[in-house]
Structure 1
Amino acid sequence: MAMGDSRVDTIARLAQWKIDNFGPCSYKKSDPFKVGIWNWYLSIERNRYLYIHLFPEPSRVSKEQPPIARFILRVSNAGSSRRFYISPVHERILRTYDDFVWPVDTSFVGRFIIDVEFLDLKICPLNGGEASSIWPSEGKLQSIASQSTLSCLSRMLDDAIHADLTIITADGTLRAHKAILSASSPVFQSMFHHNLREKESSTIHIEDMSLESCTALLRYLYGTIKQDDFWKHRLALLGAANKYDITGLKDVCEDSLLEDLNSGNVLERLNEAWLYQLHKLKKGCLTFLFDFGKIYDVRDEVNNFFQHADRELMMEMFQEVLTVWRPV
């Protein structure tokens, strides 16, 4: 074997093995080469076909975290008239020498080149679960960037970093940033742009919200709200979403209020749905009450509800009764 005949050169996700001398009845194995977190080998042998093997070096890493490789192989001769044999895209778990072989119907002898391009390398978890790529994808990069941004926004809010706005709530004050609120709500944007009092004093009054529920609103706008806080303050957040035209928050609140509908809250939810024109929630409440017969569970509360309900809402409920109870 010539000097350097077993060496495999690598760059990025490519590996190249230049073979200087290979006879009609031979076997050769490359030196190990590193791609990803594994060392790899290529080997060739001839027995009618040229058989090419790709396999990881036996080690603790390849045993405990076997790679799932997606790759393409290419074989070409080194003569003046270059000929190429290109494999299909392969994807499989590679543990041993026998896990992958590509038979190539070629009579190449002497000098030729084998190229491997790794399209992806995933770690196969021993205890099951989904394999994960060792290389950052666009989604993974986006996720890392998003987490970093949210961490910065959380610090901006918690530590009032360069805060330029004071919010006066029903029972306390909060510090925030005009830019964040303006980007989240056209109402806030207009307020800071046109309203001289808010613009000059850098103070806004949200006295129909408690300090706690207004904090939950800010955490939503800054992207750092926790699920428990959202569930606790849904009705207040719904009111704020409606008042300040906060895109998306109204829909999220509506879906959430529909999720835990029960006999104890259905009439309150129906009223909220009517107040904020939440058609999906309203339909859900009416279906819950009439199609599923839960109106019988809230008979005591219905009298009080009808005394305060909007006339149009009562008409709609009556229409629903007629629809459900119409003779078949």
Structure 2
Amino acid sequence: MASPSANSAAPIWIKEVTAGSFKFEIYMNEYPSFESSPIFTFGGHEWRLKCCINYSKDVHLLLELISDADAVKATIEFRLLEKNGGLSWAYQRVTHTFSSKARLTDMALLRVLRRGLHPEIYVTNGCFYVLCTIFIASDTTKVKPNHSSSGLPSDSLIEQLGDLLKSKNISDVTFEVDGEIFNAHRVVLAARSPVFMAELFGPMVEGNKKCIKLEGMMAEVFKDLLHYIYTDKIQDVGTKFNQHLLEAADRYALDGLKKICEDRLCRDITLDTVVSSLGLADQHNCGKLLDYCLNFAAKPENLLQLTLRQEYLELMKNCPSVSAKLSERASASLDFKKIIYKR
């Protein structure tokens, strides 16, 4: 598609489309501005990207559903692209249920970069590029084994996908994780994770790259991550493993797995795990886990012991927001006040 002229009335253009990823070219003509892209189709629905740049040059993006629909649940990721086409660290991801009454993403203006666009990195000839990845979730129900009139069990999709993962049949992508090789299927990964959708089918993907090396993850964690993607199940493991698995779930936008790990960590809070779980909850935006950890740590008998631990002191120093919340929670405790008054 040809680039528009400087006087074009629509300075947002779709440059490339691959599966659920759309590369937008956005022209910066003046400030403030509020522009819309041409309407495009994905997942049987019509959409439109809107971009707002205010006086401070803050850039906000939002996705609008044009089609009439009752409930379209989608995860959207906006990511800035660098001049060389590489993916930038500047991104935002949100899950929203679109409908005729809620056509826009629930974050009215989704902030991509707080102050300016750093022209030397992102802007070329007065425009910058954004990769928008959309993953539309379909309603799923767990398949329960049942029996036909012959008494034989019927086929289970979950079991068949699990067998497919084990057999390695028709796998078309491999991952190297911590020295181990894992075989998988691109379409299955992309259907479950918008991040895998972008990494495996996005416009920046190298077509002949069949082995992907992942850094910063243990092989056992990735193995369980794959098992969940194919079967909706994970093994019953300890706190440390669940913490690593939660990080992996957040990395690949697997909200269901993230919730399972969060629930397990809430159940297993002790003096030995609460500090690491507090830091994890703050880093990965786990509200429930953060609340459980704060309640546990704010108990006077627990707080007095935690203050003697080096890991606790380091967390309070490095995460001032957690320190402030814990101080507030502890100050509100009647038992804590009684201890102070007795002194």
Contact residue 193 and residue 252 of structure 2 kept, 8 A: yes
> Which structure has the higher relative contact order (CA within 8 Å, separation 6+)?
2
| Match in the other structure for 1:273 | 281
> Take 2:203 and 2:241, find their aligned partners in 1: how far apart are those partners?
28
For the 8 Å contact 2:172–2:185, the answer to whether it is kept is: yes
Three-state SS of the structure 2 residue aligned to 1:293 is helix
Q: Normalising by the residue count of structure 1, what TM-score does the alignment of the two structures yield?
A: 0.52
Alpha-carbon distance in structure 1 between the residues aligned to 2:262 and 2:191: 22
Counterpart for residue 54 of structure 1? none
Q: Which residue is equivalent to 1:241?
A: 249
C-alpha displacement of 1:308: 4.6
SS in 2 for 1:174: strand
Identify the residue that residue 162 of structure 2 maps to in structure 1.
Answer: 154
One-letter code aligned to 1:228:
D
Matched, 1:314 2:319: no
Runs (5+) with no aligned partner, structure 2: 1-142
Q: Provide the identity percentage.
A: 25
Q: CA deviation at 1:169?
A: 1.0
Q: Give the conservation status (yes or no) of the 8 Å contact 1:255–1:281.
A: yes
Partners of 1:222 and 1:295 in 2: how far apart?
42
Q: SS at 2:231's partner residue?
A: coil
- Residue type of the alignment partner of 1:141: N
Larger Rg: 1
Once the two structures are TM-superposed, the CA of residue 212 in structure 1 deviates from its matched residue by 1.6
SS of residue in 1 equivalent to 2:175: strand
Cα distance in 1 between the residues matched to 2:243 and 2:277: 9
- Deviation at residue 173 of structure 1 after TM alignment: 1.6
Deviation at residue 291 of structure 1 after TM alignment? 3.6
Secondary structure of the residue that 2:326 maps to in structure 1? helix
Q: What amino acid maps onto 2:258 in structure 1? A: K
* TM-score for the superposition, normalised by structure 2: 0.50
Deviation at 1:297, TM superposition (A): 2.7
Higher helix share: 1
Match of residue 313 from structure 2: 304
How far the C-alpha of 1:224 sits from its partner, in A, is 6.6
2:198 alignment partner in structure 1: 190
- 1:165 corresponds to which of 173, 185, 191: 173
The equivalent residue for 1:73 is: none
> For residues 312 and 321 of structure 1, what CA distance do their matches in structure 2 show?
14
- Check the 8 A contact 1:267/1:305 in 2, yes or no: no
Structure 1 residues 46-101: Cα deviation after superposition (integer angstroms, max 9, x where no partner): xxxxxxxxxxxxxxxxxxxxxxxxxxxxxxxxxxxxxxxxxxxxxxxxxxxxxxxx
Structure 2 counterpart SS, 1:216: helix
Q: Using the TM superposition, give the Cα deviation of residue 227 of structure 1 relative to its aligned residue in structure 2, in angstroms.
A: 2.6
Tell me how far apart the structure 1 counterparts of residues 297 and 239 of structure 2 sit (CA, whole Å): 23
